[in-house]
Structure 1
Amino acid sequence: MTDSKPNKPLVLSFHGTTGTGKNHVTRIIAKNVYEKGEDSEHVHTYTAKHHFPNKNNLDVYSAQLKQWIHGNVSRFPHSMFIFDEMEKMHPELIDTLKAFLDYNARVDGVSFRHAIFIFLSNTAGKVIVEVALDFWKEGKDRGKIWMNSKELETKIFQDIFNDKKSGFLYSAIIDHHLVDHYIPFLPLELKHVRQCVMAEMIHMKINQDYDLADEVARDMPFFPEKEKIFAVKGCKSARQKLMLYIEENEHAALPDLDKYSNEE
């Protein structure tokens, strides 16, 4: 954002298992770049299964994608494009993006150097989990993994090439090294899930209750099965689980109406 003359658009690729914060961090970025955050008219989100569901319509999708990106950047050079479920996108569609991501990209008179592209993917999630588990087994703190960030980024890159099911594998974006940073999202520990529950209490405008948050967090599934170190679903379903506890507590607090009916 401080480079007045970038030579290419900023391209970030977020990797990690479900519920580890990829969408959450994307919202934080949008909030700090645009006044209205993710609700800004300059933030555009595409989900593979929703926007490009039929493989037989790739030509139509490709044309639409080109039109959407070109049109939005021509109106506002600092537009942001978020692509969720990148591993489920067809390589032909991913290749459609190449013209906009390249160095000194200029398509039909429009420069894309100030645009931001963020890819969200579960690809390499297992590799990231394995690294986190290895750190734990060696008695190292999870927070120190950043010191091995270059090594982890290399492992993510290698895993993309080994994932035969990922559209990334066959994409020219990978071949031409157009992704600037591969960002690993680590599996969450109990303390992180607890923080998520506390945050949901704020969003729901109820009093923060640490004990309740701890109870809800501990009721979420963790792995390995015996040690229970990392959350299986991250913070996914934290709100729903909290609602269940609140409803159960409210129900338990209700008077036994049948009892009073019998007394009458």
Structure 2
Amino acid sequence: MQATYATYFVYYVLISSGFVNAFEPISTTFVVGVGVGLAAVGRTIYNYVYESCDSKWIAFNSTGLKMALDRKLFGQHVASRVIQKAVTGFMNNKNPKKPLVLSLHGWTGTGKNFASQLIAENIYKEGMASSCVHQFGTTHFLLSSQLENYKSQLQQWFKDNVTNCPRSMFIFKWMDQMHPGLIDCIKPYLGYYEYLDGVSYRQAIFIFLSNAGGEQITQVALDFWKAGRDREEIKLQHLEPALSLSVFNNKKSGLWHTRLIDKNLVDFFIPFLPLEYRHVLLCGMAEMSAKGLEPDQDVVDQMAKDMVYFPKSEKIFSLMGCKTISVKLDYYT
């Protein structure tokens, strides 16, 4: 499609400028040759201006991703490490055997959406605004009576977009609120098939975001705190087994009894720990900078103190994480 537009554009310029007529006495072969050459130039210009599925618009920055996760995703040492290693390994693999499938879990405000954004920003030049990044939420699948239609539409959406760009990213938000069974329709696209109906999905990335498993993650963090152990001692192996089992058996989860788990198609279940007061402070300072304000420790401290924490007796973890900080800062500043 893009090459066609570029070619039409070049020939339009040739004709409208009288360029073709100027060469009438000479063999038209020369003109055609010039036209082909200019068409190539036109395609280059088109791809420079408009996003396309090539290295100018899609280039993985491993160092950038690591720095972003380390410096911007507060309180998530487990998630940061897993995401960095999983995405880097996948993007550096010239011949992956299957798409990368990540399932991000944790309470609201712990950074799941933000982590997805950081991944996109370090793969696509346009970040989340890239035409290669596709987001789905519960608003796309409201009616249970239309479940079969949704499945069909979803499958066609995958096929069309991956055909257009093999290096596509699909993000499913609020998986815990989606109809159980919906996501099973995409099982073939996440598997080890080389081609499905002539299309290879092996370079695509699928990311699921869910609050499911938040209780199990919080309990582990709380147990470490009560035992006087440092939060940074928590490892993936402390969380992933119970997390995957909890998500699979949770009837409120979009992954409930899904074949994606049963067939081991999810590469990593990534836990996002509940955030503590100190992490809320860091979020507040970063948000002030993002708003173009001079970071004010007193303002951020007051805002953080007024937020709700749990459990009721210990008040260790922020109930909303960093989710409402942007709005709250508008009030405190």
Structure 2 gap ranges (5+)? 1-90
Within the candidate set 7, 10, 14, 2:100 is matched to 10
- 1:244 Cα deviation from its structure 2 partner: 1.1
Structure 1 distance, partners of 2:217, 2:179, is 24
2:57 corresponding residue in structure 1: none
Alignment partner for residue 274 of structure 2, among 170, 187, 211? Answer: 187
User: In 1, distance between residues paired with 2:248 and 2:318?
Assistant: 27
Alignment equivalent of 2:113, drawn from 23, 29, 35: 23
Larger Rg: 2
> Shift of residue 128 of structure 1?
0.1
- Judging by fraction of residues, say which structure has more strand: 1
Distance 2:162 2:140 in 1: 19
1:182-219 Cα offsets, whole Å, 9 max, x none, are: 00000001111111111111121111111111111111
Asked if structure 1 preserves the Cα contact closer than 8 Å seen for 2:181 and 2:255, the reply is: no
In structure 2, give the amino acid aligned to 1:245: Y
Matched-pair contact (CA < 8 Å) for 2:275–2:317 = yes
TM-score w.r.t. the length of structure 2 is: 0.71
SS of structure 2 residue aligned to 1:64:
helix
8 Å CA contact retained: 1:43, 1:80: yes
> Out of 278, 289, 303, which is 1:216 matched to?
303
| 1:92 correspondence with 2:181 | yes
Aligned to 2:170: 81
Query: What residue number does 1:252 align with?
Result: none
The unaligned stretches of length 5 or more in structure 1 are 247-264
Deviations 1:26-79 (A, max 9, x none): 0000001111111111000000x2100000111221111111111110111110
- Higher relative CO (Cα under 8 Å, sequence separation at least 6) belongs to 1
d(CA) in 2 for partners of 1:105 and 1:219? 54
Q: Deviations over 1:115-136 (max 9, x none)?
A: 0000001111000000000000
Name the residue aligned to 1:117.
Answer: 206
User: Within 2, Cα distance between the matches of 1:159 and 1:63?
Assistant: 28
- Counterparts in 2 of 1:1-264, with a 5 A limit? 1-47=91-137, 49-146=138-235, 149-246=236-333
Q: SS at the partner of 2:260?
A: helix
Q: What is the Cα deviation at residue 104 of structure 1? A: 2.5
Once the two structures are superposed, what CA deviation does each residue of 1:11-36 show, in whole Å capped at 9, x if it has no partner? 00000011100001000000011111
Q: Structure 2: which amino acid aligns with 1:171?
A: T
User: TM-score, structure 1 length as denominator?
Assistant: 0.89
Matched residue of 2:92: which SS? coil
Contact 1:135/1:142 (8 A) holds in 2: yes
Q: Distance between the aligned counterparts of 1:87 and 1:108, measured in 2?
A: 30
Quick one: percent identity of the two aligned structures? 50
| Number of equivalent positions | 243
In structure 1, the residue matched to 2:35 is none
**Offset, 1:105:** 4.8
Q: Contact between 1:9 and 1:102, CA under 8 Å: does it hold in 2? A: yes
Q: Deviations over 1:124-162 (max 9, x none)?
A: 10000000000000001111112xx12310010111233
Give the RMSD, CA atoms, in angstroms. Answer: 1.1
